[in-house]
Amino acid sequence: MPAAKRKPLVAVLDWKTAPASNSGVDLEAKVLGQNVRTKYYLIDTEADFTPEILGADALIVWQNTLITEHTLDRLKRCRALIRNGVGFDSVDIAAAAAREIPVCNVPDYGTEEVADHAIALTLALTRQLFPLNAEAKRPGWKLVAKDQLRRTSTLTFGVIGLGRIGTAAALRAKTLGFRVMFYDPHLPSGVHKAVGIERVDSLAKLLKQSDVVSIHCPLNDQTHYLIAEPELTHMKSTAYLVNTARGGIVKKRAVLAALKQGVIAGAGLDVIEDEPLKTKAEARTPNLIATCHAAFCSREGMIEMRTTSARIAKQAIQGKRLDNVVNGVS
């Protein structure tokens, strides 16, 4: 009898230590269909890649485990490596391109959620929600932080990176009454007219003029430590920093020191370099609001992200053109 035809394998990789999805691969399996094996694996490092994973026809990667040349060299038949999210800085995309392995991402699934989260952090800071909440729960409370409460129509909301999420955040801030400006050297002239906000031609100008600086650019060689000690000193002492993009864009030691020294008034960080916070001293940093890299999360967003990743994996299995390729391999 002839040997049974091998079914292609799509491996969905998640963290051992902090799984992003506890729902298995039912959704992915429905998209991929019965002619594809869809399996779920928990890994934390490249050392956890099993022979079965290395033999998969496509990888869907939840976590930020680094995927380097070491692993790429061992992939036997991978037709696509798909990051279940926007960022792909954990994958050596140049090395993947050299081995003709397409790397794809899901750039649009969390646009609304991340923009909403950036605005939520902004309002929590400008309206001092956490200090007021703490005071209100004390017997005999009194109004505190009155001088720190700000009227949005008097404030400037500065956006670094006017991509999908940056634009969504800018438009939300504009609706709330902020004066909105942005810095993005990669966009053509006239973009600011289309969205009705101001444009500045340098990061320094944006930092000096903004009351809230909201980061929405990708992490790469040019943006690593884009905000460090010199940039923080350019900000107003009454200004707030919000980061819902990537932790490595902001130098952790610099921003924590700036908060302790009163260089800036506060920070709302959903992402932190070398997250999570490592010590009690870091966690006690004054005027810091930190959330658990959760800006992208919503029930709807997770379904959209997983469906899109599975659809791209199916394109790879079927030999079709892939959506959202980030390393130029078709």
The catalytic site residues sit at 246, 275, 293
Q: Are 63 and 42 spatial neighbours (Cβ–Cβ below 8 Å)?
A: no
Give the Cα separation of 169 and 81 in Å (integer): 29
Residue 323 near residue 312, CB atoms below 8 Å = yes
> In this structure, which long-range contacts are made by residues 72-80, counting pairs with CB atoms below 8 Å and at least 24 apart in sequence?
72/96, 72/99, 72/101, 73/99, 74/49, 75/99, 75/101, 79/316, 79/317, 79/319, 80/104, 80/312, 80/313, 80/315, 80/316, 80/322
**b or e along 301-321 (b: 16 or more beta carbons within 10 Å of the residue's beta carbon)?**
bbebbbbbbbbbbbbbbeeee
Asked if 50 and 41 count as a contact pair (C-beta separation under 8 A), the reply is: yes
